[in-house]
């Protein structure tokens, strides 16, 4: 995996919430012998509280700040698959990580499928917003995801099939 003469040893998975980043990331890491990092877990460790608690106590702005700090700490990582939160690529200062530091894949999932997968979930703070706002976020984020990552269609495929597809792509 090379671009601009520099080998990339990090793989970043981006996409909207419930696109399967963590599930697929774990499978992919195991398949290719890399370690796995869930950015949300790093944020919780850094902040000393859960993501819903960060949102309720400190707000989304603080969460995004923690997210950028934790992502920047992964720059020196080697042979790692990173599952990011859906908003990590949206923060402008984070985007060079996805273009320069990691081989980035966009796990594409239609909004209807996102809503189906998250129905009844209470651990995702953004789901507390009205449906129209979630739809707006989705539409706003899609072009950014597409500009930063190689698209991988996820609907109709198992997480293992998707991990296999990414592994085959990076081994070219």
57 pLDDT band, cuts 50/70/90, is very high
What does the angle CA 157 – CA 110 – CA 118 come to, to the nearest 5 degrees? 85
Instruction: For each of the domains in the chain, give its residue range(s) and CATH number, in order of start.
Output: 12-162 (3.40.50.300)
pLDDT of amino acid 172 = 80
23 pLDDT more than 90: yes
Query: By the 8 A CB rule, do 162 and 107 touch?
Result: yes
Helix, strand or coil, per DSSP, at residue 77:
coil
Helix, strand or coil, per DSSP, at residue 59:
coil
4 pLDDT more than 70: no
133 pLDDT band, cuts 50/70/90, is confident
What would the mean pLDDT of 15-44 be, rounded to a whole number? Answer: 96
pLDDT of amino acid 125 = 56
pLDDT of amino acid 122 = 63
Q: Pairing relation of β-strands 6-7 and 2-3?
A: antiparallel
Model pTM? 0.90
What would the mean pLDDT of 103-121 be, rounded to a whole number? Answer: 86
Q: List 38's β-bridge partners, or say none.
A: 83
132 pLDDT more than 90: no
Helical segments of the chain, H only: 21-32, 39-47, 51-57, 60-72, 95-96, 111-118, 131-148, 159-170
Give the C-alpha separation, 64 to 87, whole Å.
8
83 pLDDT more than 90: yes
Q: Quick one: what percent of the chain has pLDDT higher than 70?
A: 91
160 pLDDT more than 50: yes
């Amino acid at each position: 995996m090379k671009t601009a003469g520099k080998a990339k040893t990090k793989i970043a998975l981006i996409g909207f919430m419930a696109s399967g980043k963590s599930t697929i990331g774990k499978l992919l890491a195991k398949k290719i012998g890399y370690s796995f990092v869930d950015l949300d877990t790093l944020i919780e460790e850094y902040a000393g509280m859960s993501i819903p608690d960060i949102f309720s106590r400190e707000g989304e702005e603080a969460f995004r700040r923690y997210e950028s700090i934790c992502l920047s700490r992964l720059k020196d990582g080697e042979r790692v698959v990173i599952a990011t939160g859906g908003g990590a690529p949206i923060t402008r200062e984070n985007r060079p990580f996805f273009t320069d530091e990691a081989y980035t894949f966009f796990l594409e999932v239609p909004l209807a499928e996102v809503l189906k997968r998250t129905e009844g979930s209470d651990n995702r703070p953004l789901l507390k917003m009205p449906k129209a706002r979630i739809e707006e976020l989705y539409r706003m984020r899609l072009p950014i995801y597409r500009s930063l990552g190689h698209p991988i269609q996820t609907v109709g495929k198992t997480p293992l099939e998707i991990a296999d597809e990414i592994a085959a792509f990076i081994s070219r």
